[in-house]
Structure 1
Amino acid sequence: MTLPALFVPHGGGPCFFMDPAGGPPDPMWQPMQAYLAGLIAALPERPKAILLVSGHWEAPEVTVHVGDGQPLFYDYYGFPEHTYRLQWPAPGAPDVARRAAALLQDAGFATREEAERGWDHGVFIPMMVAVPGADIPLAQMSLRADLDPEAHIAIGRALAPLRDEGVLIVGSGMSFHNLRARGPQVTPVADAWDAALTAAVTDPDPARRAARVAAWEDLPHARFAHPEAEHLLPLMVALGAGGEGAAVCDYRDHVLGWTVSGYRFG
């Protein structure tokens, strides 16, 4: 059975786990938490592994992590002390990482391997919600540091065969990510950006969809929504991996005054 490819929001820092007693997050984050908590149950079958591309890892060449992701990489700052002791001890998936690298090499992309970097919070924060039992192996893959949209869509296309091999491809980022703009005054602009982005992402024609999303900077308020592009590029990988299948927006909500969406391909 073919699994979809997903682009999911990973929240802000350890936003779902701010209560040291393990209580629920701030109500603002609860709809996103509920969406992430339902990801695996919404799939046609439970994946044998996850290949995840996070907006928090860039490398000169696409790099696959062939270790176990431990210890975790707590790459957020100024949060309560207990959030630097969070754990998500899932096994690594070096076989999936190397299979991904081979597919990319066959498509003409230079790749590298590394085994020491811990999984960053773009991995373990959403996965603590989506896979709380930490019982699905995971391989992380970097973005390419040039953040070229067309190249990342092509990277996703090269990875698409993994979907038929029981691997869930996940892009983890944020559809809106401007840390300097927060509050209700941002929402009208964020809504306009999100509507334009979602119209492009869900274009029923796959070729036109890819072209429109690759030209994301032409959409209204694009550089306001993303002063830097790293949190949007995982979307390109998921879109490319989704192939000719349908694309839907399966999550939309407001946090911090931002309009934030998640997408499912195939």
Structure 2
Amino acid sequence: MSSLPALFISHGSPDIAIADTEARRFMSAFAQTAPRPDAIVVVSAHFEAGGVAVTSDRRPVTIHDFGGFSPELYKIEYAAPGDPDLAGRIACMMHAEGLAAGVVADRGFDHGTWVPLSLMYPDADIPVVQVSVDPHAGPEHHYRIGHALAPLRSENVLVMGSGSMTHNLKEAFAALRCGKRNAETPDWVTQFVNWMDLKIKSGDLEALLDYRSRAPHAMENHPTDEHLMPLYSAIGAAGETWTPQKLHTSHDFGVLSMDAYAFS
């Protein structure tokens, strides 16, 4: 069996689960052509912890960790099982990578996990384990998380980073308040995304790890950078060198770039 590619998905606004957007249509069509994994490991931007935390519940609950959206959104439950054995293995893999890690209980699926998975794998019949991001650590730490997870890909486990290629919520909420879901994308978003795409496609890991200093408009697109960190885990899971495939690009509220990549 060949190894599954690692994925980076921009999950966007929680209401992408019910809104008619290009990104929603991409996610909904994904599983029709992709191999079916035996388990899914999600490095989620909405699961923040010091070091590395790994969810170990057998039956994780669905967390509606947001406010101000349609009541319909709060009724969605993603009832996929967890996998405590896999969670324990992942913690050991992190230790082998030199990363402090542990398993945690009573931590359900945040919307960085269940929103994209409810579209990609709506039957919720594949075990899912979440891995945290550390908001006080940078790209290299999250690349090492992915590097530790890389062997799972040859076991038909999908390693997925769920974040956002751009994540300026102040600007996104301004567009939301004005009803401008299809707002024009400003140059400072386009320039950043184009730079990231160029470095990803050229395999320039050094530049990517130093994106905050080198990428144009990095601070505007990521006032805090936890939503970009899952990208580095997806890259790390692909191995020392990677072949990227851009699966999707679109924009939500003008400033949320909904890029998705596969790394093999």
Q: TM-score, normalised by structure 2?
A: 0.90
Q: Match of 1:257?
A: 254
Moved more, 4-13 or 67-76: 67-76
Q: Match of 2:238?
A: 242
Q: Match of 1:223?
A: 219
- 1:34 pairs with 2:25: yes
Q: Match of 2:122?
A: 132
Moved more, 165-174 or 177-186: 177-186
Cα separation, partners in 2 of 1:60 and 1:160, compared to 1, 3 Å = same
Moved more, 254-263 or 101-110: 254-263
Give 3-state SS (helix, strand or coil) of 1:147's partner: coil
Q: Match of 1:158?
A: 148
Query: Take 2:5 and 2:56, find their aligned partners in 1: how far apart are those partners?
Result: 23
Asked if the contact 1:210–1:240 (Cα under 8 Å) also holds between the matched residues in 2, the reply is no
Asked if the contact 2:28–2:120 (Cα under 8 Å) also holds between the matched residues in 1, the reply is yes
Query: Take 1:112 and 1:167, find their aligned partners in 2: how far apart are those partners?
Result: 20
Asked if the contact 1:247–1:265 (Cα under 8 Å) also holds between the matched residues in 2, the reply is yes
Deviations 1:157-207 (A, max 9, x none): 11100000110000001101101124546522211111001111121x4xx
For 1:111, which of 89, 95, 101 is the aligned residue? 101
Query: Take 2:61 and 2:235, find their aligned partners in 1: how far apart are those partners?
Result: 30
The residue correspondences of 1:168-183 to structure 2 (distance < 5 A) are: 168-182=158-172, 183=175
Q: Match of 1:7?
A: 8
| Amino acid aligned to 2:243 | A
Query: Take 2:30 and 2:84, find their aligned partners in 1: how far apart are those partners?
Result: 23
The residue correspondences of 1:7-26 to structure 2 (distance < 5 A) are: 7-17=8-18, 25-26=19-20
Give 3-state SS (helix, strand or coil) of 2:242's partner: coil
What percentage of aligned pairs have identical amino acids? 34
Query: Take 1:159 and 1:70, find their aligned partners in 2: how far apart are those partners?
Result: 21
Query: Take 1:16 and 1:187, find their aligned partners in 2: how far apart are those partners?
Result: 25
- 1:193 pairs with 2:226: no
Q: Match of 1:144?
A: 134
| Amino acid aligned to 1:263 | Y
Give 3-state SS (helix, strand or coil) of 2:153's partner: helix
Asked if the contact 2:44–2:162 (Cα under 8 Å) also holds between the matched residues in 1, the reply is yes
Count how many residue pairs are aligned between Structure 1 and Structure 2.
Answer: 251
Q: Match of 2:89?
A: 99
| Amino acid aligned to 1:261 | D
Query: Take 2:194 and 2:9, find their aligned partners in 1: how far apart are those partners?
Result: 17
Query: Take 1:187 and 1:250, find their aligned partners in 2: how far apart are those partners?
Result: 22
Deviations 1:87-132 (A, max 9, x none): 1111112222222111111111110111101110011111110001
Structure 1 segments of 4+ aligned residues over 6 angstroms from their partners = none
Asked if the contact 1:61–1:145 (Cα under 8 Å) also holds between the matched residues in 2, the reply is no
Q: TM-score, normalised by structure 1?
A: 0.90
Query: Take 2:259 and 2:112, find their aligned partners in 1: how far apart are those partners?
Result: 16
| Amino acid aligned to 1:232 | L
Query: Take 1:13 and 1:37, find their aligned partners in 2: how far apart are those partners?
Result: 15
Q: Match of 1:83?
A: 73
Q: Match of 2:180?
A: none
| Amino acid aligned to 2:205 | A
> What's the offset of the Cα at 1:245?
2.7
Q: Match of 1:20?
A: none
> What's the offset of the Cα at 1:242?
1.0
Asked if the contact 1:51–1:97 (Cα under 8 Å) also holds between the matched residues in 2, the reply is no
Query: Take 1:36 and 1:68, find their aligned partners in 2: how far apart are those partners?
Result: 25
The residue correspondences of 1:31-70 to structure 2 (distance < 5 A) are: 31-43=22-34, 45-68=35-58, 70=60
Q: Match of 2:110?
A: 120
| Amino acid aligned to 1:253 | S
Query: Take 1:128 and 1:12, find their aligned partners in 2: how far apart are those partners?
Result: 14
> What's the offset of the Cα at 1:42?
3.4
Cα separation, partners in 2 of 1:41 and 1:100, compared to 1, 3 Å = farther
